Amino acid sequence: MNLYNFSNLEPFNLNKEKKEFFFKNRINQLTVFHSKRSYLYKRFLKKFNYQLKKVNSIDQIPFLPARTFKEIDLMSVSKKDIFKTIMSSGTTGTQSSKIYLDKKNAQNQVLVLNKIVKTILGNNRIPMLIIDKDPRFGSKNSFNAGAAAIYGFSIFGTNHTYLINRNNEIDYKSLEQFISKNKKQKIFIFGFTSLIYEYLIKNNSLKKKKIDLSNAILLHGGGWKKMESKKINNSKFKILLENKFKLRKVYNYYGLVEQTGSIFLECEKCSCFITSIFSDIIIRDLHFNLVKKGDKGFIQLFSILPTSYPGHNILTEDVGKIIDNSKCICAEKGKAFLVYGRMPRSEIRGCSDTI
């Protein structure tokens, strides 16, 4: 099995049994792969007396807490081969995760993201409105998760238009030109949830202009922590967008900077996140035991993309639960789950302290 080749894989073309078999083997192979290339990761596995020769179910493989990438530089390639460094968008006063990518890993992130997002956007690039500032003036070799997301999703668009100028104000002229030019065709809108709320939903001046976005597909993610204080949930968020802009095709996405590319898209029918062939999820309780299906706990995420760093098996500080989606059309695609946000003052240590 070629751990670098993703060209022949499609997001949702395997049934549950075939995906489980494929994914288990891939994750086990990645665990061996990284143990041979990262001394720190090998030492971590040794602390748990993990037997690399066994092909275990994915829940039996020791996980790395997400905060490990804030505390330790983990890479499975030589420093001279590092092509990009992605920094998480941490809150003030907190450390940022550092993800080291060689050229092949960076290319595969783009390839897989392309395969997943095309399932909602189609194969053709379309005019794109970005609810953010232009990040082009940042560093070319190191950028935060926000800039990385904008660059990553911009490959699906043409005629890229940024809603926010350098002064953090809406560029009304560019917006009106974009809407007028593309009112008869499908458009793609991308942004972070909190910015979409602040600059689109909350902005009363846009309501007066009667902007019609019924021809748009909106993809958004992150920023839900800021929405909690405003008592805006996913359902209300969608209602506000439809009422104000006639915008009905709205997709939330979930993912980690540590596993960029293998994002989870929201099902249009049941509003749950769905796993693809590139990713999987399990839920653990406060003692790191597996929970019953339908119970809340810490989200553990798996991705087959990370090859330049051991980020294929990570326990997050996010709370979620796996749900039964057997009555929805997305049941044929993968596991369905919900995310409830970050565990308050969560301190998932243990494993990172052993490296």
Kindly report, residue by residue over 51-84, the tens digit of the pLDDT.
Answer: 898 888 999 999 999 999 999 999 999 999 999 9
The mean pLDDT of 92-100, rounded to a whole number, is 78
Half-sphere exposure of 189 (CA within 13 A, CB side): 29
Is the predicted pLDDT of residue 246 greater than 80, yes or no?
A: yes
55, 25 Cβ separation under 8 angstroms: yes
- Report the pLDDT value the prediction gives residue 144, as an integer from 0 to 100: 75
- Report the pLDDT value the prediction gives residue 351, as an integer from 0 to 100: 44
Helix and strand tally (H, E) in the chain?
10, 15
φ, ψ dihedrals at 236, nearest 5° = -65, -35
From CA 26, how far away is CA 41, in angstroms rounded? 17
Q: Where are the domains of the chain?
A: 16-354
Map residue 128 onto helix, strand or coil.
strand
User: How many CB atoms lie under 10 A from the CB of residue 215?
Assistant: 17
Is the predicted pLDDT of residue 226 greater than 80, yes or no?
A: no
Residue 141's pLDDT band, with cuts at 50, 70 and 90, is: low
Q: Angle between the 103-121 and 145-153 helix axes, to the nearest 10 degrees?
A: 60
The mean pLDDT of 294-302, rounded to a whole number, is 96
Rounded to two decimals, the pTM is: 0.91
- Report the pLDDT value the prediction gives residue 229, as an integer from 0 to 100: 76
* Residue in the block written with tokens 């019924």: 214
CA angle 168, 173, 177 (to 5 degrees): 130
- Report the pLDDT value the prediction gives residue 353, as an integer from 0 to 100: 52
CATH 3.40.50.12780: does it fit domain 16-354? yes
The mean pLDDT of 219-243, rounded to a whole number, is 86
- Report the pLDDT value the prediction gives residue 137, as an integer from 0 to 100: 63
The mean pLDDT of 22-31, rounded to a whole number, is 96
Residue with more model confidence, 282 or 96:
282
SS3 per residue for 191-248? EEHHHHHHHHHCCHHHHHHCCCCCCEEEEEECCHHHHHHCCCCHHHHHHHHHHHHCCC
